[in-house]
């Protein structure tokens, strides 16, 4: 009788786990494509060119083909609006803000494009909200504004990723 060593047993268990997880459809988060690989997508909406460029860029990073005509698209991502707001969450004894919270909201809808299957329907208007806080230095407001702008850009990028995650799940 042949004896199986501990290294061989570990390799066998690892291989069985890989086969089991792959067989049940489990995937690592952040895998390339996210379900959008090679899918033709059009981005529409009157939200400013910078947001549209960021959405198109992120779609391209996920492997989607960004098209300019809805007839060539399988999906149309309609960005309804984007908004940014802030509120003071902490003050010092003089009443000056010491911490602020920034909220970024992105509202969108997914519609079928010309390449969509006939049974595809438009989805409801959805909202993605991201929040973050930053410290405020009452003596250096210019630095605080720069901090807010950097945080808002990060929140916008996070909101776009969350939106595209929902778009990928709608396929």
- What is the band of 4 on the pLDDT scale with cuts at 50, 70, 90? low
Burial string for 68-107 (b: 16+ CB within 10 Å, else e) reads eebeebbbbbbbeebebeeeeeeeeeeeebeebebebbbb
Q: Is residue 130 part of a domain?
A: yes
Q: Alpha-carbon distance 134 to 162, whole Å?
A: 22
The model's pTM is 0.77
The DSSP output letter for 31 is -
Q: Is residue 22 part of a domain?
A: no
Q: Alpha-carbon distance 119 to 112, whole Å?
A: 9
Pick from 121, 127, 111, 120: nearest CA to 41: 111
Q: Is residue 2 part of a domain?
A: no
Q: Is residue 146 part of a domain?
A: yes
Q: Is residue 12 part of a domain?
A: no
The DSSP output letter for 72 is G
Q: Is residue 16 part of a domain?
A: no
Q: Is residue 20 part of a domain?
A: no
pLDDT digit string (tens) for 102-129? 999 999 999 999 999 999 899 999 999 9
Q: What pLDDT, on the 0 to 100 scale, is given for residue 139?
A: 87
CATH number at residue 74: 3.30.160.150
Pairing of strands 40-44, 65-66: parallel
Q: Alpha-carbon distance 43 to 54, whole Å?
A: 11
- What is the extent of the structural domain holding 151? 35-169
Q: Is residue 79 part of a domain?
A: yes
Span 117-146, mean pLDDT? 94
The domain tally of the chain equals 1
């Amino acid at each position: 009788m042949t004896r199986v060593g501990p290294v061989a047993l570990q390799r066998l268990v690892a291989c069985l786990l890989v086969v089991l997880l792959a067989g049940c459809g489990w995937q690592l988060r952040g895998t390339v494509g996210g379900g959008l690989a090679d899918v033709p997508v059009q981005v529409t909406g009157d939200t400013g060119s910078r947001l549209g460029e960021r959405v198109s860029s992120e779609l391209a990073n996920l492997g989607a083909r960004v098209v300019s005509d809805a007839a060539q698209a399988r999906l149309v991502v309609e960005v309804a609006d984007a908004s940014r707001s802030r509120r003071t969450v902490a003050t010092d004894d003089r009443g000056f803000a010491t911490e602020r919270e920034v909220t970024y909201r992105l509202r969108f809808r997914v519609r079928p494009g010309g390449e969509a299957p006939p049974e595809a329907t438009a989805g409801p208007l959805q909202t993605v909200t991201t929040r973050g806080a930053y410290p405020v230095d009452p003596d250096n407001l210019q630095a605080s504004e720069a901090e807010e702008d950097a945080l808002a850009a990060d929140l916008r990028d996070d909101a776009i990723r969350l939106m595209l995650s929902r778009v990928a799940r709608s396929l």
